[in-house]
Amino acid sequence: MKFSIFQSSRQGGRRYNQDRLAYSYSRDALLMVVADGMGGHFHGEIASQIAVQFLVENFQKLATPALKDPFRFLIDTINQAHAAIGDYVLAHGLSDHPRTTCVACVVQGDHAYWAHVGDTRLYFFHGGKLASRTRDHSLVQQLFEQGKITEDEMTTHPERNKVYSCLGGPIPPDIELSCKKLLHEGDTLLLCSDGLWGLLSTDEIVSILNTYPIATAVPELLDHAESRGGEGGDNLSAIGMHWGDEKSFTPRSISTAAMPLDTYTVQLDTFSVGRGTEGEQDVTEADIEHAIAEIQAAIRKYSK
């Protein structure tokens, strides 16, 4: 496989960053995942961390060096992540379920396979144009499909944050799968939270992706969205992957041909919690260490 990849997450104007994202690859397969946590502080971060970390750890166990069935992997692992978050809720007797949206994509054998829950999106660009994107599991998506609002109005509608499917709630997630997509040289995949897509039009995203290498394009997208979001802006996160060789070689250009069969590369940030502004630091290092242990315990039960 030959590809270029870059990921980044920013706190925006919020006190905490509840987004989590990661990618991991073996010689013959690549996984990318973005999750946007929902719920009270700390619990939202834990829900998204469980989802992302569980997907990555299972990928590394099952991609040897490729997955037998990418769609089955996505369905099973996302459902198990949902159950792991539920176990965390039961263990702590929480009345308010921490939840997270999630989009995950596997690339192997020149094909992409993705699944999503909620309104965290994947965009697929072919020939420099949008070929497809995920359908949000949200009220505003339903209003758009009914012709009651325009696509531009989706980003400003007062009900835009209401999703009807997620991980971690009392209702099993509605996991939506893509079709198996053949990737051609120059195709681009973008996975992002609503903190990014809610502030940029598709045309703006296309323009930036077509102008810069992926390692520059992703920060540019985040810069534009963060600037527009201002002091009250949402968390924003994105992973961009350009398939094949880029016009100019960058440090993010990767060829997996020489990788040993039993090795993996992973980019996953260690669990941490944004501390807000000075005087609002209500989470200690001990809290974080305790959360890490609980996340591992929740994941361990479902790991194969």
In this prediction, residue 279 carries a pLDDT of 41
Q: What rounded mean pLDDT belongs to the chain?
A: 89
Grade residue 180 by pLDDT with cuts at 50, 70 and 90. very high
Is 280 among the domain residues?
A: no
Is 222 among the domain residues?
A: yes
- What does the radius of gyration of the chain's CA atoms come to, in whole angstroms? 18
Q: Cis (ω within 30 of 0) for the bond into 65?
A: yes
DSSP readout, the chain?
A: -EEEEEEEEE-TTSSS--EEEEEEE-SSEEEEEEEEEESSTTHHHHHHHHHHHHHHHHHHHH-SSS-S-HHHHHHHHHHHHHHHHHHHHHHHT-SS--EEEEEEEEEETTEEEEEEESS-EEEEEETTEEEEEPPP-BHHHHHHHTTSS-HHHHTT-TTTT-BS--BSSSSPP-PEE---EE--TT-EEEEE-HHHHTTS-HHHHHHHHHHS-HHHHHHHHHHHHHHHHGGGPPPEEEEEEEES--SS--TTEEE-TTS-TT--EEEEPPP-----STT-----HHHHHHHHHHHHHHHHTT--
Percentage of the chain exceeding pLDDT 70: 93
Is 111 among the domain residues?
A: yes
Q: What is the pLDDT of residues 240-288, one digit of tens each?
A: 999 998 765 455 679 898 888 888 898 887 776 554 544 445 667 777 7
CA–CA separation, 116 vs 122, rounded Å? 8
Is 157 among the domain residues?
A: yes
CA–CA separation, 221 vs 61, rounded Å? 33
In this prediction, residue 198 carries a pLDDT of 92
CATH number at residue 209: 3.60.40.10
Grade residue 9 by pLDDT with cuts at 50, 70 and 90. very high
Which is it for strands 176-177 and 181-182: parallel, antiparallel or unpaired?
unpaired
Higher pLDDT, 152 or 197: 197
Looking at the 3D structure of the chain, how many domains does it have?
1
Give the residue-averaged pLDDT of 65-71: 97
CA–CA separation, 261 vs 139, rounded Å? 44
Is 113 among the domain residues?
A: yes
Closest CA to 102 of 41, 169, 21: 21
Is 257 among the domain residues?
A: yes
- Cβ-contact 239, 191 below 8 angstroms: yes
CA–CA separation, 87 vs 239, rounded Å? 29
Q: What is the pLDDT of residues 201-253, one digit of tens each?
A: 999 999 999 999 999 999 999 999 999 999 989 999 999 999 998 765 455 67
In this structure, the number of other CB atoms found within 10 A of the CB of residue 290 comes to: 11
In this prediction, residue 54 carries a pLDDT of 95
Give the residue-averaged pLDDT of 35-64: 90
Give the domain range for residue 126: 2-275+285-300
- Partner residues linked to 190 by β-bridges: 123, 240
Q: What is the pLDDT of residues 278-296, one digit of tens each?
A: 444 566 777 778 888 888 8
Output the CA torsion sign for 252, 269, 267, 8.
Answer: negative
Q: Two tokens at 143?
A: 């209003």
Q: Residue type at 206?
A: V
Q: What is the pLDDT of residues 90-121, one digit of tens each?
A: 888 877 788 999 999 999 999 999 999 999 99
- Specify the pTM: 0.92
Give the residue-averaged pLDDT of 135-146: 90
Highest mean pLDDT among 32-36, 85-89, 140-144: 32-36
